Amino acid sequence: MLTGRMMDFPLTLTHFLERSRTFHGSTEIISRRPDRSFHRYTYADFYRRTCRLAGALRRLGVKPGDRVASLCWNHHQHLELYLAVPAMGAVLHTLNLRLHPNDLGYIARHAEDRVLVVDRSLLPLFEKFAGAVPSIERVIVIPDDGPTPSGRLDYEQLLEPEPDTFDFPMLEERAAAMLCYTSGTTGNPKGVLFSHRSTVLHTLAICMADVFGIREADTVLPVVPMFHAAAWGLPYAAVATGAKLVMPGPHLDPTSLLDLMAQERVTIAGGVPTIWLGILALLDQEPKRWDLSSMRTMAIGGSAAPPALIEGFQERHGLTVAHAWGMSELNPVGTLARLKQHHAQADEATKLSLRATQGFPVPFVEQRHVSDTGQVLPWDGSTMGELEVRGPWVASSYYGGEGKDRFTKDGWFKTGDIVTIDPEGYLRITDRSKDVIKSGGEWISSVALENALMAHPAVLEAAVFAGRHAKWDERPLAAVVLKPGQSVAKEELAAHLEKHFAKYWLPDAYLFVPQIPRTSTGKFLKSKLREEYGDYLLKHPQE
Ligand code: AMP
């Protein structure tokens, strides 16, 4: 081989941070506080504070490779953590504030977090699992909704004495930058450890015109939380390009988001279908209330964007949806539904149907789908198989080594999504191999709920499956077989589950059935349950 003679310059997030100060110092970053007031500053301010934060963390003893956890909403301090922690060589571990405290405790312990930065408004949540994480030596409170309680380290006071500059080390691009856990639908949550390199390459890819096309002229609103799959990389893309950034804080209701989009002249926003369904419903009611003429793209992903949603935005409000597929294991964007040049001639129904697929891979992600026996399947648009992907921002293993069976011997990652792929590469997710339930973008484990239900003395068998829901896309429904001669009230089952799970995990309805349909190998046949009762909540909305 004749080796190329180009520099081996490391792909690190530090470069994006430095650019934001050097070239985009006057561009604004805006955050909404819990009291609905706004915090505004510039990339120049952001850079100074990011340096101060790195200085403060170093003073507290944070070393390269150490895990610094965040338990925060989307706001400018979280962005400071997004850059300061990786740029100083440590690893930002984003904790998902929607998880049950038991899961958070497990995850933080597994990650061996040393420092935790928490919004004051989320301190009560932290206190529920603090005892489970002996590795946490320091807790830093961001005073988002009031002053930091005495005896606690205050984020702002910590930054106060630090210098405005920090000598960021020259890092290796393969160094870990961020740790995100999957939601643990089968077994315990698993850690995905993004590297600087994977995150930089992912950032460049999502900025491509055929992906999200993020550029300096944009105003980016990440509705998708920074505590789940790095907010799809939108914050890094904004810092990399110098785009204006608007952070919604905890205010994710449609009115607050529409106000923000109109007032700040947002050009691109990203969120799960549930968020957009709420926004579309409100826009339909009050089409003239908000001036959204600045909007060029609404990125939707995390679960399938219904065609009616894509069409409704386009037809009734002139707003364009970009439907993307991704996973925590991918940094996270993998595919995006874009029409190709030759589709310009296609009829509207064909165009809509293509835009409602999960699209085809962005550059450097490769896809294939395989049968149960691992045979690679044809791209004919109808053969179903499990999607496998590979690329520079696809996990090569989980942190801690669990889940080895998700990685094939020939270098692919098994996604668990059942798909078809058409001859042009467009991917359609038809089912999930593990029957998980996704409510408002968050996973709910049916198996965990079933196991708990079946621990109730009156319950013989229980299967939990997804019911369609107008607002949350899917909500759990429980099919319950009682032991002979037993009876139990729904309220009692709910109270029983409440001890173990976050409220939003609890089934919306309990259906008492004589038996649960099974597959030939004796497993619950949930597709049958979904067929029979999938619309139960739509028909009985009062439940
Ligand atoms: P998470 O790692 O929590 O982001 O979840 C990843 C999973 O969400 C994928 O494996 C899919 O099952 C699902 N998902 C993500 N995006 C989409 C989409 N656009 N359409 C359908 N399912 C999706």
Identify the CATH number of the domain in which residue 69 sits. Answer: 3.40.50.12780
How far is ligand 1, taken at its centre, from the CA of residue 495, in Å? 30
Which amino acid, one-letter code, is at 503? K
How far is ligand 1, taken at its centre, from the CA of residue 303, in Å? 5
User: What is the per-residue pLDDT across 327-341, written as a single tens digit (0 to 9) for each?
Assistant: 999 999 999 999 999
Domain for residue 317, yes or no? Answer: no
Range of the domain at 246: 13-32+39-250
Residue nearest to atom 8 of ligand 1 (CA): 302
* Structural domain total, the chain: 2
What residues are in contact with ligand 1 under a 6 Å CB criterion?
A: 182-183, 229, 301-304, 323-328, 332, 358, 415-417, 429, 432, 443
Position 525 scores a pLDDT of 79
Instruction: Tell whether the model's pLDDT for residue 299 goes beyond 90.
Output: yes
Residue 436 alpha carbon, nearest atom of ligand 1: 12
Position 520 scores a pLDDT of 41
How far is ligand 1, taken at its centre, from the CA of residue 332, in Å? 10
Write out the catalytic residue numbers: 182, 329, 438, 443
Q: Do residues 62 and 115 lie in contact, with contact meaning Cβ atoms separated by under 8 Å?
A: yes
- The residue among 198, 232, 250 that closes a domain is 250
Domain for residue 3, yes or no? Answer: no
Indicate the pTM of the whole model: 0.86
Position 519 scores a pLDDT of 57
Residue nearest to atom 9 of ligand 1 (CA): 327
Distance separating the N- and C-terminal Cα atoms of the chain: 67
Mean pLDDT over each residue of the chain, to the nearest integer: 93
Residue nearest to atom 22 of ligand 1 (CA): 303
How far is ligand 1, taken at its centre, from the CA of residue 352, in Å? 20
What is the percentage of the chain residues whose pLDDT exceeds 70?
A: 97
Residue 442 alpha carbon, nearest atom of ligand 1: 3
Instruction: Tell whether the model's pLDDT for residue 255 goes beyond 70.
Output: yes
User: What is the per-residue pLDDT across 21-61, written as a single tens digit (0 to 9) for each?
Assistant: 999 999 999 999 999 999 999 999 999 999 999 999 999 99
- The residue among 250, 281, 307 that closes a domain is 250
Q: Where does the pLDDT of residue 372 fall: very low under 50, low under 70, confident under 90, or very high at 90 and above? A: confident
CA-to-CA distance for 298 and 81, rounded, in angstroms? 26
Distances from the Cα of 44 to the Cα of 29, 58, 120, 241, angstroms:
10, 21, 26, 14
CA-to-CA distance for 24 and 43, rounded, in angstroms? 6
Q: Where does the pLDDT of residue 358 fall: very low under 50, low under 70, confident under 90, or very high at 90 and above? A: very high
Residue 443 alpha carbon, nearest atom of ligand 1: 3
Instruction: Choose the residue to mutate in 181, 417, 432, 439 for probing ligand 1, maximizing ligand atoms within 8 Å of C-beta.
Output: 417
Domain for residue 27, yes or no? Answer: yes
Instruction: Tell whether the model's pLDDT for residue 97 goes beyond 80.
Output: yes
Instruction: Choose the residue to mutate in 183, 325, 367 for probing ligand 1, maximizing ligand atoms within 8 Å of C-beta.
Output: 325
Domain of 519, CATH number, reads 3.30.300.30
How far is ligand 1, taken at its centre, from the CA of residue 7, in Å? 37
Distances from the Cα of 221 to the Cα of 157, 264, 273, angstroms:
28, 9, 15
Distances from the Cα of 95 to the Cα of 104, 108, 228, 519, angstroms:
7, 8, 8, 37
Domain for residue 381, yes or no? Answer: no
Domain for residue 111, yes or no? Answer: yes
Which amino acid, one-letter code, is at 8? D
CA-to-CA distance for 395 and 413, rounded, in angstroms? 7
Domain for residue 479, yes or no? Answer: yes
Q: Which tokens is 440 given?
A: 């408002």
Q: Where does the pLDDT of residue 521 fall: very low under 50, low under 70, confident under 90, or very high at 90 and above? A: very low
Residue nearest to atom 20 of ligand 1 (CA): 304
Residue 200 region, left (φ>0) first, then alpha (ψ -120 to 50), else beta?
alpha
The residue ranges of DSSP E strands in 371-412, in sequence order, are 385-390
Residue nearest to atom 15 of ligand 1 (CA): 302
Domain for residue 354, yes or no? Answer: no
CA-to-CA distance for 540 and 236, rounded, in angstroms? 43
Average pLDDT over residues 483-487: 89
- The residue among 220, 250, 280 that closes a domain is 250
Q: Where does the pLDDT of residue 304 fall: very low under 50, low under 70, confident under 90, or very high at 90 and above? A: confident
Domain for residue 415, yes or no? Answer: no
User: What is the per-residue pLDDT across 180-194, written as a single tens digit (0 to 9) for each?
Assistant: 998 754 568 899 999
- Collapsed DSSP state (helix, strand, coil) of residue 122: helix
Q: Do residues 52 and 163 lie in contact, with contact meaning Cβ atoms separated by under 8 Å?
A: yes
Instruction: Tell whether the model's pLDDT for residue 434 goes beyond 70.
Output: no
How far is ligand 1, taken at its centre, from the CA of residue 2, in Å? 42
